[in-house]
Amino acid sequence: MSAMLQCMSHTPLKGYFDPAADVVEEVAALAAAVREEVAHFDPEVVYLFAPDHYNGFFLDLMPQFCLGIEATSVGDYQTPKGPLQVPRALAEACAGAVIARGIDLAFSYRMQVDHGFAQTLVEVLGGLARYPVVPIMINAVAPPLASFQRARLLGAAVGEFARGQGGRALFIASGGMSHNPPIPQIATATDPEVIERIVAGRNPTPEARAARQQRTVAAAQAFAAGDSPLRPLNPDWDRALMKRLCSRDWAAIDAYRNDEVSAAAGASAHELKSWVAATAAMESATAGQWDARERYYRAIPEWLAGFGAMSGLGRHP
């Protein structure tokens, strides 16, 4: 088989509160270069690992991992609404194979995904339904959270399945690096409206969605101005993790503890489990015969995130 890996941060703040024009252009050029590489590779199937932000999954039933057998984008933060092109028989077979390997993977025939998936589908693949895609959600917002080791094992199981299918497989991870946006937690929430929103806030009115998005923009503006209690970005931590992923230092990655990650890099740094899963999938699909490279990193306060990218390509014998 042939395999490619693309890991890239996302941000809901693009177009709402941007950094300097040269930084916006730099990131746009990165996305364009990745999109061109993907088009040249022309994947037959894409396995996309990404988080949710209380837009598709809520506390009335929160799986750690969920594979979409049918999936639709909710259309938040300027991303389009609409169905993804999920190959149903392949997605069902993938779910079965992963569960057979001891991973308690949930699955959904009506999965809703947010900008964590949709921004990558548009910017890296060229549209929600440009390629057949198997979407896999990793819970990164609602403690208790699965470990980095479990994310690796999930990815390895997906990669093994993909290897058995042959063809051209693209593994993509979407997720911010160090960041700590103002996402409410059930353990500390006291406002009944907020509690209801994170327990069962599906399909809000346009006005409610706009109000939520405006709160995120306001938080980013305060953060960039240095007037925010949110945890600072941590470029050193981000770069160390990317280095470990590129070298496939699985022992070090398995040793990451959730509480230590939150303390060092913020509550939403757990989105990097999508990078771990995709990299482990690449490793498994190619039996370790691939090359990885860090291709971009910049801490971008306006986007409330350490923004990075990493790529990999399988070696042909």
CA angle 314, 160, 85 (to 5 degrees): 85
What distance in Å separates the CA atoms of residue 150 and residue 120, rounded to the nearest whole number?
Answer: 23
Q: Which of 10, 40, 53, 179 is catalytic?
A: 179
Query: Side chain identity at 316, as an amino acid letter?
Result: H
Helix (H) or strand (E) holding 82: strand 81-83
Helix (H) or strand (E) holding 295: strand 290-300
Residue 226 corresponds to which tokens in the numbers above?
A: 């240095």
Give every CB contact of residue 141 below 8 A, 6+ residues apart in sequence: 51, 52, 53, 54, 183, 267, 268, 270
Identify whether 40 is a catalytic site residue.
no
Residue 265 corresponds to which tokens in the numbers above?
A: 């890099």
Identify whether 53 is a catalytic site residue.
no
Residue 58 gets which letter from DSSP? B
Q: Which of 10, 40, 53, 115 is catalytic?
A: 115
What distance in Å separates the CA atoms of residue 198 and residue 205, rounded to the nearest whole number?
Answer: 15
Neighbour-count burial for 195-213, b at 16+ CB within 10 Å, e otherwise: eebbeebeeeeeeebeebb
* Residues labelled catalytic: 115, 179
